[in-house]
Structure 1
Amino acid sequence: MPELKFKPVRHGHKEFLAKAAIRKGFIEAYDALALEYQVANQMLKARSRAGLTQDAVAERMGTTKSAVSRLESAGKHAPSLTTLKRYAKAVGCDLQVRLVPQKTA
């Protein structure tokens, strides 16, 4: 079955953040999800580099497009390491997890 090539939709993230930042509590909520946003961003970039659609990743993972969509949505779902490894393999990547000592003041 031929795989579809992923064509990203352009999104003005900086403009979105500038507009959203005026809402009360947005900055605090956004900052609290910083790690989740970083992981989601890495997932989207990896899928884009692989030239895959969510459907294609779902097929490789043996799941549904909606499950892949949830994985790529920061803050809505906390995937297990097993799921992250399956996603990484589906987009041609290895998963690496590091624990970094906190900076002391």
Structure 2
Amino acid sequence: MADLKFKPVRHDQAAFLAKARQRPGFAEAYEALELEYALAGQMLKARTKAGLTQDAVAERMGTTKSAISRLESAGRHAPSLATLKRYAAAVGCDLQVKLVPHEAT
């Protein structure tokens, strides 16, 4: 059985983004994937809060660690709602999806 003890990796997202924004084209590319990055961030936060490793989530979902890694990587994979529901259940969450009207200009 895999080692399921969670060991968080220290990461300063603000510093990473500040440095990355200096690269040409980064801002446009990042904004194009804003929703995907927001979802990936929520997934990572939920898994961290649950104290689970990618291996543990994979075991709960009946899949592999590499599949979980792809799910948590913004812009590389577009998961189905069914997969997102299974992920949410594995980390002890409910999935909510909503459509928000555009703001009037």
**CA displacement, residues 56-103 of structure 1 (integer Å, 9 cap, x when unaligned):** 000000000000000000011000000000000101111010111111
Over the matched positions of the two proteins, sequence identity in percent amounts to 75
Unaligned runs of 5+ in 2: none
CA RMSD after TM alignment: 1.4
TM-score (norm 1): 0.94
CA displacement at 1:3 relative to structure 2? 6.7
TM-score (norm 2): 0.94
CA displacement at 1:4 relative to structure 2? 2.1
Q: Which runs of 4+ in 1 moved over 4 A?
A: none
**Structure 1 residues 15 and 62 mapped into 2: Cα distance closer, same or farther (>3 Å)?**
same
Match of 2:75 in 1: 75
Q: Count residues with an aligned counterpart.
A: 105
Quote the Cα distance in structure 1 between the aligned partners of 2:5 and 2:13: 23
Unaligned runs of 5+ in 1: none
- Give the counterpart letter for 2:77 in structure 1: H
Quote the Cα distance in structure 1 between the aligned partners of 2:35 and 2:5: 28
